[in-house]
C-alpha cells in the first residue's frame, strides 16, 4: 500500500516536471542561479509586433541573432526571445504558453492582453520598480505609469510618449508659395488656401479619408473629436466632446463646404488609407494630416514625382476658440509585463534589465547599433553608417523600435539618430516647435467602460475612430443626406440607444476616480 | 454524380443472423482499421470543436475556460434580438441571401450551357480560363477594382455615363445600389468557377441521346431544354440545397470591402456585425451566440429544402 503511494507520488511529480517543460520556459531554469551574480540572468521574452514582415522575418534563430547577442552581452542576460504578432496575443494566452516577460501594444486592459492582467497572470511591480529602477521611475512620466496601472498598481513597464501630440498638419509649401499665401492660422484661412490650391488645379486640396481617420483637422479645430479618450467635463458632468452641438454643427458645415466646393475628394467616404497615401505620394494633395514622424516618408516619394516639391509641417489651423491640432495619444505605446510565476530574484533581475534601458549605454546601442559594424568612433565623434538597403533599414528600425523597451517612443527613429541629417532635424523641429504647442487633451477610461461592450455601435472601435452611430450621421450630414441642424437629434438617439448607460457609468467612475485617465501634456 | 440516381445509394448487405455479420466484419477487418484514422479525424477536428459552441450560453473568459466560466443561459441570444438594428441587419442578410439565390445561382448554369454550345474547342478553353480567373483574386482586390470602377471622379463607369450627359453617380455612397453591387461582384468573381461542376455533369451525358434527338429532328435549343437540362437537374438540385445551407453565410469579406457610412443601412449583414461587435472588448460569447443562431437557421433551411427536394425530385443530399 505504502509502496503504491510512493510510486504514484513519483509518477505525479515526474508528470508535473514534464508538464512544466511543456508549458514553456517557466521557472525551473534559474532556481538557485540568480544569487550568483556572475551567472547571466535567464528569462524568456515576447516582443510585440504588428507585422511579421521586416527584420524579424529574416531571423530564424534568435539565440544567435547578433542584436540579441549584443544585448545579452551588455546586460549579462540569457534571453529566449520570440516575436508575437499583436493579433495573435490572445492565442498565446489561450494556449497558456506565457513567457517570463510579455510585451504588448497598448495598455494592461487593451484587447490584445485578452483580460490577462485582470485575471492575475502578471505581477504588480510598484515595489520592485521603486527599489530597483529609480531612474526608470523618474524618466517615465507619471501619466504613462498611470496608463499602465490597474486598480492602482503598476503592472507594466511602458514605452512612453514624452509628447502626446503626435500628428501634424502637412502642407505643400511650394504650392503655398506659388499661390502667394502665408501658412493658414485659422480654419477660414485654411479654407482660402485650399480654394487657391483648387484654382491652381490641385486635385485634392485637403486629402480627406473615410471615417475621418487622419482627416480630422477640422474636428480638432472645433474640439469635437468623437474618439475614445476625448471625454470632457461640462458643468461637472463627464460627456463625449461631440455633445457640443454648436461646435459640432460648425465643424460639419465646414466639411460640407469643403465637399461642395471640391476641396476634399467627392468620394471621401470610400477613400481607403491606401488611396490616401497614393494620392499624397503622387503629388495630388495640397494639405493633409499624418503622423509627424512620417515627414521623411512623404518627402522622398513626392519629390520623385514633383522634383521641386516642398513638404512641411505647419501649426494646425485654429478654430474660433483658439484650439487646434489632433487628439493626444495615451502616453504608453507598448507595455512589458512580468509573469507572476517568475520568482522574486529573477523579477528583480528583470526590473534591473529595464532600468539599464534608460542608460546612455543603452541609448547608444539601440540608436547606433554595434561598434565596428554600424558605426565607428573617430576621437569620440560618431560616424554612423546610415542604412541604405532595405535590409539595413529594417534592421535599424527593429533595433530602435522593437528591441528597445521602456524607451521614449515619441520619436522614431530616436532623437540622436534624427540629429544626423536635415530631414531628421526638420522632424525634431516639428515636434519641439509645432506639435508641442497644439493638440487636444481629453479624459479616457482604462479599462474600457463596460457599457461599450454592450453597445458596439456606440463604442469607438479604435482609439482614433469614432463610434459607428456618430460617424454614420456625420458622413450623411456632410453628404447632405441629413440636415446638419439635426445634430441634437443624433445626441438624443445616442442617449436612447445606450448612451445614457455610458454616461452614467462614465460619471460614476469619474467621481470615484476608478480607471480614469486624464490625457494631457 | 449522375449515376447516383440510378443506384439510389449503395448496395446494402442483409445478413441472416448476427454471426454472419460478425464473420463478415472479421473477414474484412483491414478495411475497418483503415477507416479509423478518418473517423478519428472527423470526431476530433469536426465534432469536438462543435462542443465549444456552449460558450454561447456562458460569459466566457479565456483564463477561466469553459469549465470555470459562469453560465448565463440565453442572455446573449436575448441581447441579440433586443439590439435596435437587429431586424435591419437580419433583413439585409436574408434579402442579400435571397438575391444571391435568385440572381447569382442560375448564372453558372446558363454560362455552362452556353460554353457547352461552343464548337471550337480552343476558343472554348480560352473562354473557360478567362471566366475562371476572377475566382483566384481575393475579395480585397476585387473590392479595390470595383470601388475604382465605380468611383465618381476617376471611375470608368461614370466616364461612360458622362458621354450621355449623366451626372456622375456615387454608387457606393447610396443605400440603393449596395445590394446590386454585392450580388454583381459575386457573379463576376465566382460564376465562372461555378460552371466547373455543371460542365463535368454535362460531359457525363450519353452522346447517344443527342444523336437520337438529332435524328428525330430536334434543334439545338430543343436538345438543351430536353436533354442537357434534365440530365444535370440532380446536380443543380444538390448544389441548390448546399447553397440554401449557406443562405446566411454570404461572407464577411465580400461585404466588408464595400461598406461605408453611406450604404451600411442596406449593406450590413450579420457577419459584418459580428466583426464589429467582436472588435470591441473580446465578446467571445455574444459573437458565438450570433454564429450559432446563423448555423441553426442554416441547418433548418437545409432540412426543409432537403425534405422538399426529396418529395419533388426524389433526390436529396442525404
Option in A456, A481, A497 nearest B280 (CB): A456
Q: How far apart are CA A72 and CA A69, in angstroms?
A: 5
Nearest residue to B265 via CA among B41, B28, B92, B108: B92
pLDDT at position A38 over 90: no
Of A251-255, A411-415, A466-470, the range with the lowest mean pLDDT is: A411-415
pLDDT at position A293 over 80: yes
Residue A267 to residue B153, Cβ atoms within 8 A: yes
* Residue A37: per-residue pLDDT: 54
Residue B172 to residue A269, Cβ atoms within 8 A: yes
Residue A267 to residue B62, Cβ atoms within 8 A: no
Average of per-residue pLDDT values in chain B: 89
Q: Where are the domains of chain A?
A: 19-162+332-384, 167-328+440-519
Across B35-64, average pLDDT? 91
Residue A94 to residue B62, Cβ atoms within 8 A: yes
Q: How far apart are CA A395 and CA B137, in angstroms?
A: 33
Letter string b/e over residues B237-265, b meaning 16 or more CB atoms within 10 A of that residue's CB = bbbbbebbbebbbbbbebbbbbbbbbbbe
Enumerate chain A positions whose Cβ falls within 8 A of a Cβ in B: 90, 93-94, 111, 114-116, 119, 121, 210-211, 265-267, 269-270, 272, 274, 448, 452-454, 456-457, 459, 461, 468, 471-472, 474-476, 479, 481, 497
Residue B172 to residue A270, Cβ atoms within 8 A: yes
Which of B315 and B11 is assigned the larger pLDDT?
A: B315
Instruction: Express as a percent the part of chain B with pLDDT over 70.
Output: 95
Option in B262, B277, B282 nearest A476 (CB): B262
Q: How far apart are CA A510 and CA A233, in angstroms?
A: 10
Beta strands per DSSP E along A93-252: 101-105, 149-150, 153-154, 156-160, 167-172, 204-206, 231-234, 237-240
pLDDT at position B205 over 70: yes
pLDDT at position A22 over 60: no
Nearest residue to A355 via CA among A304, A407, A313, A390: A407
CATH class of A19-162+332-384: alpha beta
**CB neighbourhood size of A21 (10 A):** 11
ipTM over the 0.85 cut-off: no
The pLDDT tens digits for B147-168 are 999 998 888 999 999 999 988 8
Chain A nearest C-alpha distance from B277 (Å): 5
* Dihedral pair phi/psi, residue B243, rounded to 5°: -65, -40
Option in A115, A266, A453 nearest B280 (CB): A453
Do the beta carbons of residue A194 and residue A263 sit within 8 Å? yes
Chain B nearest C-alpha distance from A312 (Å): 28
Q: How far apart are CA A257 and CA A222, in angstroms?
A: 15
pLDDT at position B202 over 80: yes
pLDDT at position A6 over 70: no
Cα nearest neighbour of A469 on chain B? B261
Cell numbers for A382:
560618431
The pLDDT tens digits for B132-143 are 999 999 999 999
pLDDT at position B1 over 70: no
CATH architecture label of A167-328+440-519: 3-Layer(aba) Sandwich (3.40)
- Residues from chain A contacting residue B283 (CB–CB below 8 Å): 453, 456
Q: How far apart are CA A205 and CA A194, in angstroms?
A: 5
Average of per-residue pLDDT values in chain A: 90
The alpha carbon of B115 is separated from its chain's Cα centroid by a whole number of angstroms, namely 22
Cell numbers for B292:
450559432
Residue A472 to residue B264, Cβ atoms within 8 A: yes
Across B216-241, average pLDDT? 91
Chain B nearest C-alpha distance from A501 (Å): 15
B25 vs B13, B22, B28, B35, B39, CA distance in Å?
A: 12, 5, 5, 13, 17
The pLDDT tens digits for A182-241 are 999 999 999 999 999 999 999 999 999 999 999 999 999 999 999 999 999 999 999 999
* Residue B12: per-residue pLDDT: 64
Option in B84, B170, B282 nearest A115 (CB): B282
Instruction: Express as a percent the part of chain B with pLDDT over 90.
Output: 62
Nearest residue to A279 via CA among B258, B151, B3: B151
Do the beta carbons of residue A216 and residue A316 sit within 8 Å? no
- Residues from chain B contacting residue A454 (CB–CB below 8 Å): 79
pLDDT at position B15 over 80: no
* Residue B309: per-residue pLDDT: 84
Across B73-80, average pLDDT? 92
The pLDDT tens digits for A144-187 are 999 999 988 999 999 999 999 999 999 999 999 999 999 999 99
Cis before A447? omega within 30: yes
Do the beta carbons of residue A325 and residue A252 sit within 8 Å? no
Same fold, A19-162+332-384 and A167-328+440-519: yes
Chain B nearest C-alpha distance from A488 (Å): 19
Cell numbers for A305:
514625382
| Residue in A91, A268, A456 to test binding to B, most B beta-carbons within 10 Å | A456
pLDDT at position B22 over 80: yes
- Residues from chain A contacting residue B280 (CB–CB below 8 Å): 448, 452-453, 456, 459, 461
Across A86-105, average pLDDT? 90
Amino acid at each position: 500500500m505504502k509502496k503504491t503511494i510512493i510510486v504514484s507520488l513519483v509518477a505525479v511529480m515526474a508528470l508535473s516536471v514534464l508538464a512544466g517543460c511543456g508549458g514553456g520556459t517557466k521557472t525551473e531554469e534559474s532556481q538557485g542561479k540568480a544569487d550568483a551574480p556572475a551567472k547571466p540572468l535567464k528569462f524568456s521574452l515576447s516582443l510585440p509586433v504588428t507585422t511579421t514582415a521586416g527584420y524579424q522575418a529574416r531571423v530564424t534563430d534568435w539565440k544567435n541573432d547578433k542584436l540579441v547577442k549584443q544585448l545579452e552581452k551588455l546586460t549579462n542576460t540569457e534571453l529566449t526571445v520570440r516575436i508575437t504578432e499583436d493579433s495573435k496575443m490572445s492565442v498565446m494566452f489561450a494556449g497558456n504558453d506565457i513567457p517570463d516577460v510579455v510585451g504588448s501594444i497598448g495598455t494592461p486592459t487593451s484587447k490584445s492582453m485578452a483580460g490577462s492582467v485582470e485575471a492575475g497572470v502578471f505581477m504588480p511591480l510598484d515595489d520592485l520598480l521603486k527599489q530597483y529602477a529609480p531612474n526608470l521611475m523618474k524618466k517615465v512620466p507619471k501619466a504613462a505609469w498611470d496608463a499602465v496601472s490597474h486598480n492602482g498598481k503598476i503592472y507594466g513597464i511602458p514605452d512612453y510618449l514624452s509628447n502626446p501630440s503626435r500628428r501634424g498638419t502637412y502642407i505643400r509649401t511650394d504650392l503655398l508659395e506659388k499661390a502667394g499665401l502665408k501658412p493658414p492660422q485659422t480654419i477660414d484661412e485654411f479654407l482660402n488656401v485650399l480654394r487657391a490650391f483648387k484654382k491652381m488645379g490641385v486635385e485634392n486640396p485637403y486629402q480627406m479619408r473615410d471615417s475621418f481617420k487622419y482627416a480630422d483637422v477640422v474636428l480638432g479645430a472645433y474640439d469635437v473629436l468623437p474618439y475614445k479618450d476625448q471625454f470632457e467635463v461640462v458643468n461637472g458632468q463627464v460627456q463625449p466632446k461631440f455633445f457640443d452641438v454648436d461646435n459640432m454643427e460648425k465643424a460639419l458645415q465646414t466639411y460640407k463646404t469643403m465637399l461642395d466646393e471640391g476641396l476634399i475628394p467627392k468620394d471621401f467616404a470610400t477613400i481607403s488609407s491606401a488611396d490616401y497615401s497614393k494620392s499624397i505620394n503622387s503629388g495630388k494633395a495640397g494639405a493633409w494630416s499624418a503622423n509627424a514622424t512620417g515627414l521623411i516618408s512623404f518627402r522622398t516619394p513626392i519629390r520623385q514625382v514633383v522634383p521641386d516639391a516642398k513638404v512641411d509641417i505647419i501649426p494646425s489651423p485654429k478654430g474660433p476658440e483658439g484650439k487646434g491640432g489632433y487628439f493626444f495619444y495615451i502616453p504608453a505605446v507598448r507595455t512589458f509585463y512580468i509573469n507572476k510565476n517568475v520568482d522574486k530574484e529573477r523579477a528583480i533581475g528583470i526590473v534591473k534589465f529595464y532600468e539599464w534601458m534608460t542608460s546612455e549605454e543603452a541609448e547608444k546601442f539601440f540608436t547606433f547599433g554595434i561598434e565596428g559594424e554600424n558605426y565607428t568612433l573617430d576621437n569620440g565623434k560618431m560616424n554612423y553608417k546610415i542604412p541604405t538597403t532595405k535590409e539595413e533599414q529594417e534592421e535599424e528600425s527593429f533595433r530602435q523600435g522593437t528591441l528597445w523597451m521602456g524607451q521614449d517612443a515619441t520619436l522614431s527613429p530616436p532623437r540622436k539618430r534624427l540629429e544626423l541629417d536635415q530631414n531628421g532635424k526638420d522632424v525634431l523641429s516639428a515636434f519641439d516647435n509645432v506639435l508641442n504647442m497644439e493638440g487636444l487633451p481629453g479624459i479616457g477610461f482604462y479599462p474600457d467602460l463596460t457599457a461599450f461592450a454592450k453597445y458596439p455601435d456606440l463604442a469607438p472601435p479604435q482609439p482614433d475612430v469614432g463610434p459607428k452611430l456618430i460617424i454614420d450621421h456625420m458622413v450623411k450630414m456632410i453628404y447632405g443626406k441629413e440636415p446638419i441642424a439635426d445634430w441634437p437629434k443624433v445626441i438624443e438617439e445616442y442617449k436612447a440607444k445606450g448612451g445614457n448607460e455610458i454616461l452614467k457609468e462614465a460619471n460614476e467612475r469619474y467621481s470615484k476616480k476608478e480607471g480614469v485617465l486624464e490625457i494631457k501634456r | 454524380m449522375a449515376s447516383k440516381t440510378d443506384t439510389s445509394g449503395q448496395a446494402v448487405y442483409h445478413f441472416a443472423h448476427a454471426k454472419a455479420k460478425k464473420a463478415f466484419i472479421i473477414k474484412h477487418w483491414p478495411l475497418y482499421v483503415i477507416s479509423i484514422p478518418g473517423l478519428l479525424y472527423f470526431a476530433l477536428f469536426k465534432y469536438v470543436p462543435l462542443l465549444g459552441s456552449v460558450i454561447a450560453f456562458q460569459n466566457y473568459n479565456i483564463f477561466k475556460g469553459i469549465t470555470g466560466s459562469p453560465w448565463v443561459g440565453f442572455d446573449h441570444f436575448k441581447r441579440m434580438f433586443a439590439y435596435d438594428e437587429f431586424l435591419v441587419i437580419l433583413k439585409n442578410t436574408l434579402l442579400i441571401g435571397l438575391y444571391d439565390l435568385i440572381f447569382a445561382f442560375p448564372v453558372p448554369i446558363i454560362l455552362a450551357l452556353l460554353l457547352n454550345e461552343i464548337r471550337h474547342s480552343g476558343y472554348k478553353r480560352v473562354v473557360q480560363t478567362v471566366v475562371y480567373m476572377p475566382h483566384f483574386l481575393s475579395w480585397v482586390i476585387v473590392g479595390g477594382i470595383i470601388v475604382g470602377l465605380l468611383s465618381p471622379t476617376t471611375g470608368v463607369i461614370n466616364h461612360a455615363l458622362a458621354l450621355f450627359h449623366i451626372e456622375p453617380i456615387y454608387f457606393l455612397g447610396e443605400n440603393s445600389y449596395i445590394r446590386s453591387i454585392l450580388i454583381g461582384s459575386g457573379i463576376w468573381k465566382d460564376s465562372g468557377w461555378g460552371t466547373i461542376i455543371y460542365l463535368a455533369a454535362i460531359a457525363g451525358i450519353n452522346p447517344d441521346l443527342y444523336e437520337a434527338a438529332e435524328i428525330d429532328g430536334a434543334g439545338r435549343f430543343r436538345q438543351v431544354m430536353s436533354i442537357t437540362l434534365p440530365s444535370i437537374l440532380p446536380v443543380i438540385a444538390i448544389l441548390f440545397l448546399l447553397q440554401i445551407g449557406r443562405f446566411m453565410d454570404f461572407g464577411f469579406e465580400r461585404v466588408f470591402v464595400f461598406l461605408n457610412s453611406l450604404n451600411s443601412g442596406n449593406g450590413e449583414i450579420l457577419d459584418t456585425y459580428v466583426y464589429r461587435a467582436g472588435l470591441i472588448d473580446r465578446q467571445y460569447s455574444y459573437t458565438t451566440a450570433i454564429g450559432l443562431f446563423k448555423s441553426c437557421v442554416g441547418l433548418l433551411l437545409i432540412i426543409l429544402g432537403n425534405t422538399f427536394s426529396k418529395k419533388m425530385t426524389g433526390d436529396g443530399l442525404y
